[in-house]
Amino acid sequence: MKELTYSKAINEALREEMARDSKVLVLGEEVGVPRGGVFGVTQGLEEEFGKSRVRNTPISEMAIAGAAVGASLLGYRPVAEIMYVDFITLAMDQIVNQAAKVRYMFGGKARPSLVIRTQGGVGRGGAAQHSQSLEIWFATIPGLKVAMPATPADAKGMLKAAIRDDNPVIFIEHKKLYATRGMVPEGDHVVPLGKAEVKRQGTAATIVTYSYMVLEALAAAEQLAARGIDVEVVDLRSVNPIDWERVLSSVKKTGKLIAVYEACKTGGLGAEICSRAAEELFDYLDAPVQRVAGLDTPIPYNRKLERAAIPNADQIVAAVDRVL
């Protein structure tokens, strides 16, 4: 094991996969020299692998996604970076109507083996056009996989799995996670997509969450543990496919469910989690399901208002108290 930041773990995954397979390409705005992307995640890759495999692109999300789809159909494994998930709106046709559909439309003969890396969430004062959580858009599209790791170890392992996958993967990295640190296994560390993980064991209630909200849920769990309340924290890691077996088995054990997500409350992923639990585990639930989510509002630029628009550990604690 070694300690890495979240951003360094992603960089290491890219470097290892590019060294392992010459068909792996990186493309996007400023991904090469000098910056290595807006968050510096691809720093050093152009120097090591050259401009033919690390390509700075024009400021055109449609072109970036379209080039990635085309390259994947020719046998390459492109990793395209869209600077912010907000800008992915400009590439929706290429991702939703082409990448997600082509394997089905050609009877499995086409292999859209591409990864779209992008950044989501709040925390940097990015305001309404640079701070959204849009994962639900992609989680509802058959043919797309959506990964949202919360730890450096998962970031590295899941990105390696995504690059090797023969399906298109939307890989969303939360901006506030880049500087976080954690222990990462050395060697060829691969984390399968679609497998949730229990980040903390407990019996009082189940908190289901993903991405940066995993950290808030664990902080809430610490507060509750000081009062003698042990909650279980389930990190989805992938929001499509969802590991329903792991989620429902935890809820069945505790009898109480709190779904936590940063995106707007209305229509968010937590609604699907709560609906599935109500459909399949009604007789096991000892209290109404709870959602702790972002407000249905554009994200403000003001830092205090920004913090007020998304969930925090105190709100999660309050939700657990309600179900108990």
d(CA 279, CA 244) in angstroms, rounded, equals 13
Q: Smallest Cα–Cα separation from 52: which of 82, 75, 27, 79?
A: 27
Is 174 assigned a catalytic role? no
Name the strands in the sheet holding 206-209, side by side, starting at the edge strand that comes first in the sequence. Answer: 197-200, 232-235, 206-209, 257-264, 290-294
pLDDT on residue 125: 86
Q: In this structure, are residues 259 and 319 in contact, taking their beta carbons and an 8 Å threshold?
A: no
Q: Which residues of the chain have pLDDT under 70?
A: none
Query: Which residue's entry shows tokens 């189940």?
Result: 206
- What number of CA atoms fall less than 13 Å from residue 182's CA on the CB side? 19
Quick: pLDDT tens for 51-110: 999 999 999 999 999 999 999 999 999 999 999 999 999 999 999 999 999 999 999 999
**Torsion from C-alpha of 82, 311, 244, 93, nearest 10 degrees:** -30
- Catalytic residue, from 8, 55, 130, 175: name it: 130
Quick: pLDDT tens for 211-240: 999 999 999 999 999 999 999 999 999 999
The amino acid at residue 71 is A
pLDDT on residue 33: 84
